Amino acid sequence: MQSVVMALRSIRTNKMRAVLTMLGIIIGVMALVVLVSLINGATGSVTDAVSDLGTSMVTVSISDDKGSPVRLDTIYEWMQTEKNFGAIAPYDTDTAVGKNGAEASSVMVYGVTPAYYEVQGLQLAMGRFLKQTDVDNSSYVCVLNTDAAEELVGYVDCVGQSVTLDNVEFTVVGVLEENEDSLSSMLTSGTLFAYMPYSTLIRLSDSVPDEITSFYIAAPAGGTLEAAESTIEQILYERFNEDEDAYSISSQNLVEEAMDSITSTLSILLGGIAAISLVVGGIGIMNIMLVTVTERTREIGIRKAIGASRGTILTQFLVEAVVLCMMGCCLGIFLSWAILQLVNTVVASTGISFAMDLGVVLVAVVFCFLIGVIFGLYPANKAAKMKPIDALHYGG
């Protein structure tokens, strides 16, 4: 404590030099804290945007059923018995030719069950989605997206109208709302979609088999996607004779995971660059401490003559270096905070906000302390090793 007070006094006697010395540390800390905080802030808002794009779900596809195919009934049974599953939505797709008078257009037809609506987070503009009875009866009903409604019927408000897909007549029971924010609608804008009961698609299309090859699983209310993922993994593993290549399971968190790895690489990279500037700042501190030790040779001599031990002198100069570093660190953190506030006011309109990352502040403090100790040690040791008589007679 005494030595901290002494160090502060000695720093105070040479304010300008102290500030210049600290500059390296201040800039280093600012670079570290501001950059990492900015990256984390940006990551936060991008990740939020990504997770808004789609509901979280597990995607399962089966390539080889090993003689025990999954059918609609199997799906219904899982939904009933497995508490780790929410809705399970089997689906298959094909293209069909949709006709509106003489005009023909290609339509993406989806064979689905009512669960698909929930799992995919679809929104209806009018009418209803497919019902369980539609699937059970293999009814010729369909739900269109707005593009398909405009193209095949001529107008959006077309519930109750009929459309022709591959020369079969379907009754439109609902039209989906155009969801411009969703990732899938961005990727597929302009494409015509028609959703029909899975059982109907099996009849309509030659390429769609009786067995289910792809389905989505949502997490149940209060459950996690991870639990659902591991449950289906286990079920399929046993079902397909412990052959992991017969199926594949992926979760839509993949995008988020990719984002995470990109941003963490980015923050490590930029943090590393900032750390280099901190080390350069540390060298500046060492330089000035060496000058200080030479300048104060006489003082060191006096202190040693009246009984300061090596350790005492070492501590004194080491504490001075560390205090210098920590002052620079505090100033740097304060300035970083000010810069982030400034950035926040500038970008306020975009709705992104950057908070100072506490973790990186902690890292900066610890790093500055270490730099103070490491780069203070050499000058302090030089001071401690001085012989009292040589030091006393230095410069007269």
Sites of contact with another protein (CB under 8 A): 2, 9-10, 13, 298-299, 301-312, 387-389, 392, 396
Other beta carbons within 10 angstroms of residue 247's beta carbon come to 22
- CA 25 – CA 282 distance, rounded (Å): 7
Least CB distance from residue 292 to another protein, whole Å?
A: 12
- CA 182 – CA 73 distance, rounded (Å): 31
Least CB distance from residue 396 to another protein, whole Å?
A: 7
- CA 222 – CA 81 distance, rounded (Å): 17
Residue number with CB closer to another protein (215 or 317): 317
* Tokens standing for residue 393: 């007679």
Smallest CA-to-CA distance from 377 within 303, 290, 278, 279 is with 290
Smallest CA-to-CA distance from 112 within 200, 211, 207 is with 200
Least CB distance from residue 264 to another protein, whole Å?
A: 48
Residue number with CB closer to another protein (248 or 312): 312
Residues 233, 238, 242, 243, CA torsion sign: negative
Beta-strand runs (E) in 265-388 = none
Residue number with CB closer to another protein (1 or 102): 1
Residue number with CB closer to another protein (160 or 307): 307
Least CB distance from residue 293 to another protein, whole Å?
A: 15
* CB of 178 closer than 8 Å to CB of 146: yes
Residue number with CB closer to another protein (5 or 268): 5
Least CB distance from residue 20 to another protein, whole Å?
A: 20
Q: At what angle do helices 358-384 and 15-53 cross, to 10 degrees?
A: 150
* CB of 182 closer than 8 Å to CB of 69: no
Least CB distance from residue 13 to another protein, whole Å?
A: 6
- CA 176 – CA 215 distance, rounded (Å): 21
Place of tokens 């802030």: 41
* CB of 321 closer than 8 Å to CB of 380: yes
- CA 201 – CA 196 distance, rounded (Å): 7
Residue number with CB closer to another protein (6 or 50): 6
Residue number with CB closer to another protein (253 or 316): 316
Residue number with CB closer to another protein (239 or 304): 304
